[in-house]
Amino acid sequence: MSVVVGIKEQGKIYMAADTMITYGDSKRYLRNEHTQKVWVVEDTPKCIMGCVGMLSDLNVVRYCSGQLVPELNVLKNDINIGTIIVNTVPQITGVIADYGKICNKPADLPLASSFLLGINDHLFSIYPDGTVEEEEDYVAIGSGADMAIASLQDSEGEDVYVRLIKAVEAAAKISLYVGGPYVIVNNEDCEMLMITSNETIPVDELEAKDLDIEPLSEGEILPEPSKKKSKKKKNKVDKEEKL
């Protein structure tokens, strides 16, 4: 499992995700732009997606599916929740069924994964039972999603990139299945960014100027995540030494 966060702001959709994946009791990090949990939908303008659940589902939906939103709807900007229910969900479930999976999903669910879809100024959530919701402001799916949503609520009014990082950091604090570095994409310039930092910045002190945001170029390999050392306040250390 993973976490993907979406924000709708000023007519644009932003998404952020962690890069950690797990196989059994082992973990590793997605280091290539082509395998990230958020991506640009190539054949549809101003369209991005995110996925949590099975990495195989992400792969087939990203590279094997047809047009997720009909071209006529895109050209007319006639996109609503019905468009996604009638067109996008069957495309997703169909391509996963056609290409098969190694791991089995629960028998009573059509999917084993959840998705976010951002197109134009619309942000949709698609859940494993086929439910679709249109979000008016922000959403999070996956491990630690409740903490991420609480963070998004608490950070309203702040810089959008700060809000995204705070949200995924909040999820990482309580979930074993979420870890940085983090990637961000929006559906305006469709540029994939990665967030790195050489020092640990407390989330409650995070500001836009503290973020080291770098574009992730075609085929670029992400660096291994650096180990962060927690900083303790001196007076707290002194108190513990006296016990």
Under the banding of pLDDT at 50, 70 and 90, the label for residue 232 is: very low
pLDDT at 227 over 80: no
Distance, CA of 235 to CA of 217 (rounded, Å): 44
pLDDT of residue 233: 44
The per-residue pLDDT for range 96-144, each reduced to its tens digit, is 888 866 555 555 566 789 999 999 999 999 999 999 999 999 999 999 9
CA dihedral 207, 212, 218, 224 (to 10 degrees): -110
Under the banding of pLDDT at 50, 70 and 90, the label for residue 191 is: confident
The answer for residues whose C-beta is within 8 angstroms of residue 119's C-beta and 6 or more apart is 13, 41, 44, 46, 47, 48, 69, 74, 79, 187
Number of H helices, E strands in the chain: 7, 13
pLDDT of residue 39: 93
**Are the beta carbons of 136 and 124 closer than 8 angstroms?**
no
- As beta bridge partners, residue 29 has 20
**What is the H or E stretch that residue 190 is in?**
none
Under the banding of pLDDT at 50, 70 and 90, the label for residue 180 is: confident
Give which of 13, 24, 80 is closest to 4, Cα–Cα: 13
**Are the beta carbons of 144 and 171 closer than 8 angstroms?**
yes
pLDDT at 199 over 50: no
Give me the chain's average pLDDT, please: 81
Domains and CATH numbers, the chain: 3-242 (3.60.20.10)
Under the banding of pLDDT at 50, 70 and 90, the label for residue 202 is: very low
Phi–psi pair at 88, nearest 5 degrees: -75, -45
Least confidently predicted of 74-78, 169-173, 200-204: 200-204
